[in-house]
Copies of this chain bind each other. A is one copy, B any other.
Amino acid sequence: MAETNYFSSGSGDASDEQATWIDWQGSTSIEMVPGLQIQALTSANVMVSFVHLEPHTEAAVHWHDEEQISIVIDGELEFEVGGVTRTLRRGDAVLIPSNVPHGARTGSSPCFELDVFNPPRRALLDALGIDVGAGEPADDR
């Protein structure tokens, strides 16, 4: 019963606000460290970053206020979170609570993974020059 209702009309009023269509692959890319490129899209509450790592590339252990969900799409990535190390591939993900130290590195293969931040990661907004006001889409998306 829940399944048949999942795509039924909403219970409340529909909104006539417009969507924001995004070509993230054509958006500004930043090489955060050699071999690691990041692009991002941002709503008021959530940021999705698209991270491409070349082989033998490392993101050093760090932490931040923003909660993070990392999801491997292609290739594999060795993730260290809170002192625990695992290799993630497509089908794997890790939820990283606020301020838990984490880092990652590729081996001989490249990797494409997504990091979902809540709220949007301030350091990445700054690096990309994105200013997201409440309820307003950023021009730089």
- Using CB atoms and an 8 Å cutoff, list the residues of chain A in contact with chain B: 2-10, 12-26, 30-33, 41, 43-46, 48, 59-65, 67, 69, 71, 73, 81-82, 84, 86, 90-103, 114, 116, 118, 123-124, 126-127, 137
Contact = CB atoms under 8 A, between A and B. Distances in A.
A43 to B, nearest CB: 5
- If over half of A's interface residues share one DSSP class (helix, strand or loop), that class is named, otherwise mixed; here it is mixed
A137 B61 CA distance: 23
A45 B86 CA distance: 24
B99 A48 contact: no
B63 A10 contact: yes
Copy total for this chain: 2
A135 to B, nearest CB: 9
A2 B126 contact: yes
Contacts of A114: 71, 114
A4 B21 CA distance: 31
Contacts of A123: 2, 5-6
A12 B43 CA distance: 25
A90 B81 CA distance: 29
Given A6-B62, A15-B98, A43-B95, 19 more contacts: A3-B33, A6-B127, A7-B32, A7-B60, A14-B99, A15-B99, A19-B82, A19-B94, A19-B96, A22-B92, A23-B92, A43-B67, A44-B67, A45-B45, A48-B71, A48-B93, A71-B114, A95-B137, A118-B118
